[in-house]
Amino acid sequence: MDVKHACRCCLRCPPDKDLTTPYTHLGKTEIYAVMVKECFDIHLVVDGAGSCGICSMCVGRLRDASDFKLQVQRSQAELQALLVKAESAVKSEQADDDSVFDVLCK
């Protein structure tokens, strides 16, 4: 296959969708070039010199990667919130213990 007319992500298949066009999937807008940048910090050069498309197989893999990244980010945010809450509870218990100690020692 002529790589000029191949998927920019795998070079094996003809592209099914454009990388810069907004598409809607399950109620969410997707721009594949932006998703690649957000997931992998890879800036795809999109110009008129060649293919600016992505095949359906790579779209599926990109969606999986994007969903996984969001899952990890949500999990980390939830874990961080739990840690802050637990730390706050420990500090509160320590303050209560100090108050009881102060009363008993006076």
Q: What is the pLDDT of residues 12-71, one digit of tens each?
A: 999 999 999 999 999 999 999 999 999 999 999 877 665 699 999 999 999 999 999 999
What CATH code is carried by the domain that includes residue 14?
Answer: 3.40.1800.20
71 lies in which domain range? 3-105
What pLDDT, in 10s, does the model give residues 77-94?
999 999 998 888 887 777
Domain count, the chain: 1
Which of 17, 42, 13 lies closest to 30 in space, CA to CA? 17
The alpha carbons of the chain give a radius of gyration, in whole angstroms, of 25
